């Protein structure tokens, strides 16, 4: 263990409350563009987010030993750069220029000709990036003595991050109240709080669901562009409104509105992906270009909310088999599935076909492809 890091020996890295608090602090530090110390086994690395750092932060991070610094990338970004790998990698970039590092980390590149090594020991950085709503791209180097002066860098262990992830399934009901909607007057909004960072999640209860039978349920991830502004690039707004109408027609049920913008990547990453789509990448390849898996959403919050509401059996309104599998693996019975459809437009046609062909969504993609001629 390196000098100054002995504190790691005197704390229980599996203590769930400490792990939760320390992981949340690490997430906050990264999001503010500050470096942290990551302990993995006997190694200790300094880590700085490319997505959040400013030029001065990068210069200080490199310091007087630039050759020690590597660029951590997820397996998805690495493969987009032509690197054959099944796990994350660390690149030798030969540059300390933030613009050039950013181009390598999330630009519309298809090749990286430099040296690289596997970096599976740093894989928990993917989780930290997801929790911080940052791209999974980090500068990494061995920790230095000045990183620890005056507690300059927060220290977190990969074991703590793994232990903290359990918190993503713990939610508490905070408040419920009637909120009549334009087309559905009998609605109650139930707010739950929990998970890491204590985010609020919403259950919209329509009518009086019969809990003795499979309850009509729609799990809807937030899409500010489609739900609020009516974006033509997706059908999310249509699915939200049509899902609520289907639930009302069934006599009552629940729509779970989850804070998972951009399939869990966050609003900024979603806009980056949109930019890449304008350059010709489809929705899945665009996400891979910036380091993400095809769908990074988690459904622990949905399961916790359903259980809190006393719902153990559902008629799930979805086109996504991943949602079905997530509920079933958590012990929620999915007795039936109902498709939720939106309007096919020239702008979202390719997006819908990609979801069907490449993401396995239960859509008739030949019909969608032919819809507009």
219, β-bridge pairs? 256
Q: What's the sign of the alpha-carbon dihedral 154, 158, 160, 164?
A: positive
Asked whether 104 and 70 are in contact (CB, 8 A), the reply is no
Task: Compute CA 18 distance to the chain's CA centroid, rounded to the nearest angstrom.
Answer: 23
Q: Could you say which of 57, 147, 287, 295 is catalytic? A: 295
Question: N- to C-terminal Cα distance for the chain?
Answer: 65
> How would you classify the pairing of strands 137-142 and 116-118?
unpaired
Q: Which of 30, 61, 49, 38 is nearest to 123 (CA)?
A: 38
Q: Which residue has the tokens 């009901």?
A: 173
How many C-beta atoms lie closer than 10 Å to residue 153's C-beta?
22
Tell me, yes or no, if 297 is annotated catalytic. yes
Q: For the CA atoms of the chain, what is the radius of gyration?
A: 22
Tell me, yes or no, if 182 is annotated catalytic. no
Buried b (16+ CB within 10 A) or exposed e, 128-152: bbbbbbbbbbbbbbebbeebbeeee
Q: Could you say which of 297, 307, 358, 364 is catalytic? A: 297
Q: Which of 180, 172, 230, 178 is nearest to 201 (CA)?
A: 172
215, β-bridge pairs? 314
Rounded Cα–Cα distance for residues 186 and 208 (Å): 9
Q: Which positions are annotated as active-site residues?
A: 295, 297
């Amino acid at each position: 263990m390196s000098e100054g890091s002995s504190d790691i020996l005197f704390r229980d890295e599996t203590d769930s409350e400490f792990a939760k608090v320390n992981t949340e602090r690490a997430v906050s530090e990264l999001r503010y563009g500050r470096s942290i110390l990551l302990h993995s086994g006997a190694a200790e690395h300094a880590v700085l987010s490319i997505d959040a750092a400013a030029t001065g932060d990068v210069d200080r991070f490199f310091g007087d030993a630039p050759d020690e610094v590597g660029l951590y990338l997820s397996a998805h970004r690495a493969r987009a750069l032509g690197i054959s790998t099944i796990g994350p990698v660390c690149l030798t970039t030969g540059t300390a220029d933030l613009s050039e590092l950013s181009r390598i980390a999330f630009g519309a590149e298809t090749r990286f000709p430099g040296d690289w090594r596997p970096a599976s020991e740093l894989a928990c950085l993917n989780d930290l990036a997801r929790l911080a709503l940052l791209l999974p791209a980090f500068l990494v180097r061995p920790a230095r003595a000045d990183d620890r002066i005056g507690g300059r860098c927060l220290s977190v262990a990969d074991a703590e991050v793994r232990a903290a992830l359990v918190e993503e399934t713990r939610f508490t009901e905070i408040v419920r109240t009637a909120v009549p909607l334009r087309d559905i007057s009998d609605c109650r909004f139930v707010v739950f709080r929990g998970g890491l960072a204590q985010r609020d999640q919403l259950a919209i209860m329509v009518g009086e669901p019969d809990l003795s039978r499979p309850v009509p349920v729609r799990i809807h991830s937030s899409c500010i562009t489609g739900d609020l502004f009516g974006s033509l690039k997706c059908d999310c707004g249509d699915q939200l409104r049509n899902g609520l109408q289907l639930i009302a027609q069934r006599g009552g049920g629940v729509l779970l509105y989850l804070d998972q913008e951009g399939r869990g990547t966050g609003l900024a990453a979603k806009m980056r992906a949109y930019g890449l789509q304008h350059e010709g990448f489809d929705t899945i390849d665009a996400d891979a270009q910036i380091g993400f898996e095809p769908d990074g959403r988690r459904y622990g919050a949905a399961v916790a909310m359903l259980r809190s509401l006393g719902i153990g059996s559902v008629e799930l309104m979805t086109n996504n088999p991943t949602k079905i599998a997530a509920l079933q693996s958590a012990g929620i019975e999915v007795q039936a599935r109902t498709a939720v459809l939106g309007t096919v437009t020239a702008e979202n046609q390719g997006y819908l076909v990609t979801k069907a062909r490449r993401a396995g969504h239960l859509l008739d993609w030949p019909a969608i492809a032919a819809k507009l001629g």
